Structure 1
Amino acid sequence: MTPRLTLINRDYTRLWFGQAVSSVGDAVFSTTLVLWVATVLAKDESWAPLAVSGVLMASSVAVLVIGPLAGVFVDRWDKLATLLRTEVVRGTLVVVLTAVSFLPTDALPVGVWLALVYVTVLLLHASGQFFSPARFAILADLVKGDANRARAAGIGQATGETAWIIGPPLAAPLLFAAGIQWALLFNALSYAVSYVAIRSIEVPASAATPDGGKPAPGPAASDTKPAGRRSSLRGEFADGVRFFARSRFLVVLLLLAVIGQFGLGALSTLNVFFTTDNLDADAHLYGYIGMAMGVGGITGALSGGRVVQWLGARRSTWISLLVSGVLLIAYSRQTTFLGGIALLFVFTVPLTVLNTAMAPLLLDAAPPAFRGRVMAVFYPVTKLASMLAAVLSGWLAGSVLTDVAGSVAGVRFGPIDTIFAVSGVIVVLSGVFAWLALPGTETPEKGAGATDGPDAEPGAEKAAALTVDVTAPAGPRGHRPAADDERGRPE
């Protein structure tokens, strides 16, 4: 018999294959658009950086505006049909842009080209806000057990990291040798492959249908609607927010993610300056920084399932936060390029394990009827925290802390390394908070999906055990989270 490649199970393997192809296509597409805008549409223009930032802003607007509401529709709709229709919509959008791109560049004003790019990116990411929660909901039924769910999350993150290692190097040759049209067409074909792979999945009826095939547990007994009566969009969204806010476990996970984003957001914004100033390296070596983090992300993603199996998801969460914070502090003290590369690689491993460990916790805490809305609250809030962290760190480094310099006990410090060190301390404190706030009743898994103690409960009972009584009166508003993927994304 010819051996077949199977990851966890057959249906998850098909879902993963569709994600893998689509992720490479997305990486090629995103890189191509940025290069095209910067080197063709806005070539030699002073506003070129602003034009490129518009691509990023379009994606962020889709996440923050459409994301919170998308979960309501995902909870209403058939999950598998949602995935398939989303791929059709995204593929069609890219095909339309591809067809228009066959026109000569000077056939349309630059402003029209940019508008087409921004609108396409906005609609693509808006569609993605329906795809991600639907995939999350189906994944919960295709993959059982914390270890397998963590492994699935790790494989997903490793796939995303690999896509961003493979995709960008493909984008530049496609753009400059073959043309923008063929780079866009590559992404359109990736959606077609993803559609075929997802269509072949055999999803349990309870996973695909609205409410998981069960009566939807309302946030409160008084909120229950008469049979056959559809509540309003606003009402269902409010039900999801109330459910989230009354779940101590979900609130704790959200706070951990938000604190982590504020602790780590500085790295993505300021690391290029840290490389050239503190590590005394040429700017052209900065690509190796991203490569080290990518390899570290893949390593952490692939080992995350095993770590969760050994330690349990909750213990893995707070340990990963503590280790990541300490390593970020150590990185802030580096003065050599090789030392910085090595520490960034090691730092990214527990950071990715953290994202892997949080995935099964989220899946367990979200009942089928609320999975879409749980993700529609969690992801946009974490995205917003990441954006605020990036803006705050840039503002601190560029204004408030510009003149910070000195030494203490022979240890020199400046503005950027100080921000990194403080960020590391914040991450360590979030690890202490996770250690104290997350329940400590978990026993590490003995095998693939087998647990002892409370974590061995069936999915529905386990979700109930992780949340407060949803029929109880709502607590004071001050107890609700004020504001993070990959996910690890991410993607």
Structure 2
Amino acid sequence: MHKIGLSTSLRHPIFRRLYIAQTISLFGDALTWLGLALLAFELAGTSAPIVLAGALTLRVTAFTLLSPLAGVIADRFDRKPILVITHLGRMLLVCLLPFVNSVWQIYALVLGLNIFNAFFTPTYQATIPLVTGKADYPQAIALSSTTYQILGVFGPGIAGVLALFIGARELFFWDGLSFITAAILITTLPGNLQVNITGFEEQKMGQIWSDIQAGTARLWTDAPIRYGLTIQLVASIAGAQILVNTVGYVQGTLHQTAVQYGWVMMGFGLGATCGTMAIGIYPQYRSKIVTILGGGVLITTALLGANYVGLVPLILLWSIAGFGQSIINLSMQTLIADRTPTNLQGRVYGAHFAWSHFWWMGAYPLAGWLGTTFPCRTFLYGSLIGLGLLSIVHLCLKPDRFTHTHPEFSHIHTHNHDLQHHHEHLTNLEIDLRSSTHQHPHVHSQFSHSHSYTDISHKHSGSHHH
């Protein structure tokens, strides 16, 4: 019996090395953002939040504009040099950060860093199913996501301790060391990480735009993925409320310090970590839609009474919200892998990465407006908006729970003609039509093959084309 657990995916040597490289670079990211916060305060003083907000906006913009292109490139070329180049590029840029002396230089370097991030993340996400196989990729995705959450919680604390001993600007050199170490690990991987491209997918670079459109079209024409993507819009509205307005509530309304604010945000991170671990240990292959819906309900309802509670209940509510957001994001990653052929996953992951970050481009301004216009009820109104949108999405876009798809494949099978089963055959098929039983190839399409869980028979109707 196959043992289910986060560590099972590490038995794949290529993924194991990729995972170690990702963990090292994620720790580098923690150093980057803590160092940027300290650097922004050094250069801008009380205007540091504006500087960080601008950097965050640049980050989301780069992801939205470039991730679809990154996904198309990941489907066309060997992914190993892409992963190496993105690490080396970030290494060079973070090593320039200790020398900045103005805010515009921070913006320029952050934009460059996140251009490389926009190419790295979809490529890495699409590579996980490629190197682990169908049986283990849900655990592999969960392990990567759990590591991301854990380092998001504890990484800044470790970076803060380092900053006390070596200084804020010197953090960036350690950051650069982490990126080059990860690049070396990926370089030593055996073979290549290129998907098999055949037939109509061997296209010229001039058709890249059509491939970008194909990635987005696949997101919006597949009912379960479309449903999950719109639930992520709901989650971004609630998540932006947490990221933007928690500090004002904790320090302004509750009159607590930055230390207590850190506790609250750590609760959010720990909840997210628990969510990724739960999905990784108990993958529910046929209930991802229910899981995504449950995550949307959790994160939006957690905000409902947050304006009227103290510090400890707020930590609990934010833990619930983090759990909900995490199971949405993780279920979406595995849902895309489930419903997308391997040779198309790069462009679909790239399109998804862009769209999911595009939601935040609207969610952040909404959260800022609610926080300044209704400072005493910002979480309440954000929750009501999210619940209203969640209801609309669920009523209008909920897919048929009895239908699922398989990757496209072709096989030969035998079947009988009877009074209820008739279809045409092309004339070049050598079939003895005097016999009711014969063989022919049958192609299962990714989007057209569906069946009920209660019906175990394989039914054919209409015309088959051979």
The amino acid of 1:425's aligned partner reads L
Change (3 A) 1:318 1:245: closer
- 1:386 and 2:360 equivalent? yes
Letter matched to residue 258 of structure 1? L
CA deviation profile, 1:436-458 (whole Å, cap 9, x unmatched): 7234237xxxxxxxxxxx57x55
1:298, distance to aligned residue in structure 2 (A): 1.4
Q: Does the alignment pair 1:285 with 2:252?
A: no
Instruction: State the AA in 2 paired with 1:438.
Output: P
1:301, distance to aligned residue in structure 2 (A)? 1.2
Q: Which amino acid aligns with 2:367?
A: S
Query: What is the distance in 1 between the residues matched to 2:66 and 2:107?
Result: 15
Deviation at 1:130, TM superposition (A): 1.5
2:196 is the counterpart of 1:213: yes
Q: Any idea what SS the aligned residue of 1:231 has?
A: helix
CA distance change for structure 1 residues 298 and 263 in 2, over 3 Å: closer, same or farther?
Answer: closer
What secondary structure, in the 3-state scheme, does the structure 1 residue paired with 2:292 have? Answer: helix
Alignment correspondent of 1:42: 44
Q: Is the contact made by 2:235 and 2:325 (CA closer than 8 Å) also made in structure 1?
A: no
SS in 2 for 1:61: helix
Q: Which residue of the other structure, out of 254, 268, 271, is the alignment partner of 1:296?
A: 271
Question: What's 2:129 paired with?
Answer: 140
Tell me, which stretches of 5 or more residues in structure 1 are unaligned? 219-226, 403-413, 443-453, 470-491
The residue aligned with 1:92 is 92
Match of 1:13 in 2: 16
- Identify if the C-alpha distance between structure 1 residues 466 and 426 changes in structure 2 by more than 3 Å, giving closer, same or farther: farther
Once residues 357 and 49 of structure 1 are traced to their aligned partners in structure 2, the CA distance between those partners, rounded to angstroms, is 32
CA shift for structure 1 position 176: 4.9
1:190 shift after superposition? 0.9
Cross-structure match for 2:206: 231
Partner of 1:254: 229
**RCO (CA 8 Å, sep 6+): is it higher in 1 or 2?**
1
Q: What residue in structure 2 maps to residue 313 of structure 1?
A: 288
Deviation at 1:305, TM superposition (A): 1.8
- 1:377 is displaced (CA, Å) by 2.0
Q: Give the fraction of aligned pairs with identical amino acids, expressed as a percent.
A: 20
Whole-Å separation in 2 of the counterparts to 1:281 and 1:175: 24
> Which residues in structure 2 correspond to 1:395-406 (within 5 Å)?
395-399=369-373, 401=374
Query: 1:447 aligns to what?
Result: none
The answer to whether the 8 A contact 1:321-1:428 is kept is yes
In structure 2, C-alpha distance between the alignment counterparts of 1:307 and 1:127, rounded to whole Å: 33
Shift of 1:77: 1.6
| Alignment check: 8 A CA contact 1:63 1:380 kept | yes
Q: Alpha carbons of 1:465 and 1:264: their partners in 2 closer, same or farther (altered >3 Å)? A: farther
Query: Structure 1 residues 380, 87: closer, same or farther in 2, change over 3 A?
Result: same
Distance in 1, matches of 2:133 and 2:288, equals 14
How much does 1:18 deviate? 0.9
Question: Is structure 2 residue 387 aligned with structure 1 residue 425?
Answer: yes
TM-score by length of 2: 0.77
Equivalent residues of 2:238, 2:303 under 8 A apart: no
1:172 equivalent in structure 2: 160
Q: Distance in 2 between matches of 1:196 and 1:460?
A: 37
Cα offset for 1:80?
Answer: 1.8
Cα contact 2:72–2:208 (8 A) shared by 1 = yes
Contact 1:324–1:428 (Cα < 8 Å) also in 2? no
SS of the aligned residue for 2:170 comes to: helix
Matched, 1:29 2:17: no
Q: After TM superposition, give the deviation of residue 278 of structure 1 in Å.
A: 5.9
- Displacement of 1:311 in angstroms is 6.4
Where does residue 248 of structure 2 map in the other structure? 273
Pairing 1:341–2:310 present:
no
Asked whether the 8 Å contact 1:266–1:419 carries over to 2, the reply is no
Q: Which amino acid aligns with 1:396?
A: L
Q: Distance in 1 between matches of 2:389 and 2:282?
A: 20
* Greater Cα shift, 16-25 or 280-289: 280-289
Q: CA–CA distance in 1 between the matches of 2:8 and 2:188?
A: 15
Q: Where does residue 336 of structure 2 map in the other structure?
A: 362
CA contact 1:18–1:193 (8 Å) conserved in 2: yes
1:143 shift after superposition? 2.5
* Counterparts of 2:48 and 2:245, CA distance in 1: 21
For the residue of structure 1 that corresponds to 2:206, the secondary structure is: coil
Q: Which residue of 1 aligns with 2:426?
A: none
Q: Which residue of 2 aligns with 1:440?
A: 401
Structure 1 length-normalised TM? 0.73
Distance 2:166 2:265 in 1: 27
Structure-2 separation of matches of 1:464 and 1:197: 39
In structure 1, distance between residues paired with 2:39 and 2:143: 31
User: After superposition, what is the alpha-carbon deviation per residue over 1:155-174, rounded to whole angstroms, capped at 9, x for unaligned?
Assistant: 22221122123322233344
Matched AA of 1:27: A
Which deviations, in whole Å up to 9, do the C-alpha atoms of 1:400-423 show, x marking residues without a partner? x46xxxxxxxxxxx5224224314
Q: Secondary structure at the residue paired with 1:42? A: helix
2:447: which partner in 1? 467
Say yes or no: does 1:161 pair with 2:149.
yes
Amino acid at match of 2:120: F
Q: Deviations over 1:78-134 (max 9, x none)?
A: 112211222222223334x16x73xxx7xxxx43xx343322221121111111122
Distance 1:285 1:13 in 2: 37
Structure 1 pair 425–251 and aligned structure 2 pair: CA distance change class (3 A): closer
Where 1:138 maps in the other structure, the secondary structure is helix
Once the 2 structures are TM-superposed, how far is the Cα of residue 276 of structure 1 from its aligned partner?
A: 4.5
Residues 1:179 and 1:164: Cα distance change in structure 2 (over 3 Å): same
Q: Which of structures 1 and 2 has the bigger CA Rg?
A: 2
Aligned to 2:111: 122
Deviates more, 1:263-272 or 1:48-57: 48-57
Q: CA deviation at 1:187?
A: 1.1
Cα distance, 1:369–1:231 mapped onto 2, change above 3 Å: farther
Asked if the contact 2:341–2:407 (Cα under 8 Å) also holds between the matched residues in 1, the reply is: no
Deviation at 1:289, TM superposition (A): 0.3
What are the Cα deviations for residues 211-264 of structure 1, in whole angstroms up to 9, with x where unaligned? x2132667xxxxxxxx67443433433343444443334333322222332344
Q: Distance in 2 between matches of 1:122 and 1:47?
A: 19
**What is residue 182 of structure 2 aligned with on the other side?**
194
